[in-house]
Chains A and B, each alone.
Chain A
Amino acid sequence: MIDGLSIQISQMLLVLALAPLLVGIVRAIKARLLRRRGPSVLQPFRDIARLARKEAVVAESASWLFRVVPYLVFAATWVAAALVPTFATGLLFSWSADLIAIIALLGSARFFLALAGMDVGTSFGGIGSSREVMIASLAEPALIMIVFTLALVAGSTQLSTVAEIFLSGVGLRVSLGMALVALIIVAIAENGRIPVDNPATHLELTMVHEAMVLEYSGRHLALIELASALKLLLYASLIACVFTPWGLAPAGAPFHVHLIGAAVYAGKLAAAGLLLAVFETMIAKMRVFRVPDFLGAALMLGSLGALLLFVSRGL
């Protein structure tokens, strides 16, 4: 019990500490690839601290919801990120929310953020919210198909169990390959990275996430930036935990195994950051109404993966 609790708490603090670092790594590598010097990898920490110290400017037409949403979004994303096994599978509270519940928690955060976009009553917020819910409406079925494929292979939707079963080897499966590609597509769409959305844009035609949080400033914006960094870390950890589970310390392992697990996890995050940065540099942003085709490909891959599993199981 005690080591389960300590693993859980250390994971909660670890994800909070590593999230801005991941964003910093992605930005630094992108800058290098574009032959710029770029900011240091610790810059997001400084950004969040700077925003937190500033005065928050709230629009006159904003309601009470506007000031509450950043805390709710941050809380929901943090709780979800704390329940995805990162360096150990023995989380004390991993049984309280399975993969479907984690996805739904992220959906809650997105719901409130979309409401905040509508709150001030400008057209920017509306454009962000309407596009965000369109992307979400296509990403959710794809995610459920991926969950279905994973649950068919592992026999459970509890992430610790899935990680342990995948750690013990499942063989070379085309369905898992398809699920991986589909999950990467969904992760890109949900986190608002290129080619779905540009996290560094100032042009309204290319905005989805930025348009929703346009009116936020000060400590509210700091919380929202931290929440979106946590979301990126969550998806990276999810992919790492399910598809590259080597290095995860099983429940009840000694302390040094956990340390090794943490080091491996940091390595996986760095690799994920590198791959994301390279991918974002290689590809151009899509027009908004090509995003449904992009996510449709993820849905198709997820469904095909599940179908192919039926074939191999049904014999």
Chain B
Amino acid sequence: MTVAPLLAGAAALLALSIAAIPLARRPAGNKILYGLALALSMLLLGGAINHLVSGADPAWIRLPLGLPWIGSRFRLDALSAFFLAVTNLGGSAASLYAMGRGAQEPEPQRVLPFYPAFLAAMNLVVLADDAFTFLLAWEFMSLTSWALVMAHHRERGNAHAGYVYIVMATFGTLALLLAFGLLAGPGGGYDFAAMRTHEVTPAIAGLVLALVLLGAGSKAGIVPLHVWLPLAHPAAPSHVSALMSGVMTKAAIYGFVRIVFDLLGEPSWWSGLIVLFLGGITAVLGVLYALMQHDLKRLLAYHTVENIGIIYIGLGLALAFRANGMGAAAALAMTAALFHVLNHMLFKSLLFFGAGAVLGATGERDMEKLGGLARNMPYTSFVFLVGCVAISALPPLNGFVSEWLTFQAILLSPDLPQWALKIMAPAMGGLLALSAALAAACFVKAYGVTFLGRPRSEAAREARETDAFSLAAMSALAILCLMAGILPGFVIDTLGPTTLSLIDERMPVQASVRWLSIVPIAESRSSYNGLLVFAFVAASATFAALVIHRFASTRLRRAPAWDCGFPDPSPATQYSASSFAQPIRRVFGTSIFRAREEVNMPPPGDGRPARLTVTVRDLAWELIYVPIVRGAAWISERLNHLQFLTIRQYLSLVFAVLVFLLLVLASWQ
């Protein structure tokens, strides 16, 4: 598989975005556009999978575009093929979904031209082989997604979300630019092949790691750089939110993996420690933030933060194992992280599509105004349930497999020689288990309050099932979640060449294990068989149903709810999202978020209602960003004086700088 067809596909997407400008005005325009985007994404997906499965050698190409002495280099190796597959699978699903829902955009000309450009940019980020092309594609990705975030600019809060997003994205690109500069060194070889051979001192390597964590990490959503994510992701249209959460964050992970594992050379053990630690706190804080939300899309966006944390835990372990020469364990950790990349794209896109379907059917994103949607939207509720089960890491679906693999990697950590790693890894394992349990809690809340129970508003009562295209996209993703869960061996084998290219080691081939189990290290140590577990559960459930229907009563009667004899007709008496989260908020939130509940009771005899106010503060925003913003404003205030100097003062300023530079030149050794 050469690079040229894939580049042609990306170019076709760019052409499509230009063609979208006239197409947007026609009524069937968006169906045509999204249909073409779907076709192109599927072609790119096919190309990527072909490269992965055939195990071909890396291919690269140099185009004479861009900077004169470098041109643009593009490369397709196992790592880019995997991320290309993930990107285009997400892109196809989003395009298919948008063919149905996309028709409901109030201003399609704000969305349609930027969507194919966004897809093209993400593909180009993964294919880029030199720093300039990478950064250009990265910025283009940020800009197009920013345009898409600002598509609903009239809604309250979206302008602020776009502003925060563009500032954080620019800051991230700056950090990456500096990182590439350090990697290139004084020799100035900006293509990745030169960076691979360029040796860096450990101090420089540490600095590069910090810069990459700032740059790629902020795009992925590591705490405390995550603040833009829950503002920007929900503001965009639903299919774009799915792309941003499910795919763009993976492009950021790709950037991190490419730089740290490929370009930086041999890692040191403390880099693994830092990444592991950041992953752990990101996972727990992400899910705790998610639990405090009652806006469905914001909850999903915070959840992305949690899953990125899980991926970083795997990556940190891989770094630590590789630094200590434990190849098999590093392969296991890396495979776990990459598997989770795929899984997260699958189920997060599915969940965002579901949220979009709910938004389209009811016009509401706030869970406190929804409820009982499972009766009016049965198919949507079923596939959304599959997504919820998958993201909560419950067997037999795919979320459990990547989490199981991560735990197996953590169980290998006692063989690490450094004490800090030996203690940090199981601590992060505990945090991972905590985040998994809290994620399950969060999705019981999200599903239970939105789809189950009784409708809390007129809009929820009047909801109708969504259209066929959206359902097709969601069902396809749900089926893929199930497949990845019950046939994980195939995914692990597909990831083999990728881990081999990164850390020169891969997990043992799983296809030969009996009964399609997966055996990460050795059969005596641990194994898991998703297919058998699924088959057993299904068989037991069917067996129980058959026995019950043969020997027990099959009569069923509908009656009002029992509710201990005092049913309340008002749907406001059922548990809302904040009341569901109250026990967890009280246990974890009082220290982490300074969550306070205040009850305002008017005196007896007064007819006013009592008020319960819950305040939750984002400490990361208050302690880090607000001082930075204030500091920047203060500095700008001071520097503003430079605008109003007299001519004499300007002249003396120029004179002083000139004299200073001459002094430096005179005393330079």
Contacts and interface: CB of A to CB of B under 8 A. Distances in A.
Given A64-B378, A79-B533, A141-B434, A105 B557 contact: no
A293 to B, nearest CB: 10
Interface stretch (A177-185, A214-222, A236-244): A214-222
Interface stretch (A36-44, A128-136, A168-176, A265-273): A128-136
B132 interface: no
A115 B564 contact: no
Interface in A145-161: 145, 148, 151-152, 155-158, 161
Nearest to B529: A96
A143 B430 CA distance: 9
Nearest to A216: B562
Nearest to A78: B540
A252 interface: no
A129 B580 contact: yes
A314 B434 CA distance: 27
A247 to B, nearest CB: 23
B553 A65 contact: no
Interface residues on A, range: 35 or more
A220 to B, nearest CB: 9
Interface stretch (A25-33, A118-126, A191-199): A118-126
B594 interface: no
B198 interface: no
Contact of B527 (A96, A119, A126): A96
B540 A63 contact: no
A119 B430 contact: no
Contacts of B515: 96
A287 interface: no
Contact of B561 (A61, A72, A292): A61
Contacts of B432: 144
Contact of A118 (B430, B431, B452, B559): B452
A87 B330 CA distance: 38
Contacts of A167: none
B559 A58 contact: yes
B562 A126 contact: no
A141 B439 CA distance: 13
B249 to A, nearest CB: 25
B574 A310 contact: no
Q: 10 closest pairs, A vs B, by CB?
A: A126-B575, A118-B448, A121-B453, A133-B441, A52-B552, A121-B454, A75-B540, A140-B437, A144-B433, A75-B541
Interface of A: 52-65, 67, 71-72, 74-76, 78-79, 82, 93, 95-98, 100-101, 104-105, 107-108, 110-111, 114-115, 117-127, 129-131, 133-134, 136-141, 143-145, 148, 151-152, 155-158, 161, 204, 214-215, 218-219, 222-223, 288-289, 292, 299, 303, 306-307, 310, 313-314
25 contacts: A54-B553, A55-B556, A63-B451, A65-B381, A78-B540, A93-B536, A95-B523, A95-B529, A97-B532, A111-B444, A123-B563, A124-B564, A130-B580, A133-B584, A136-B437, A137-B440, A138-B587, A141-B431, A155-B525, A158-B525, A214-B562, A214-B564, A218-B553, A310-B414, A310-B423
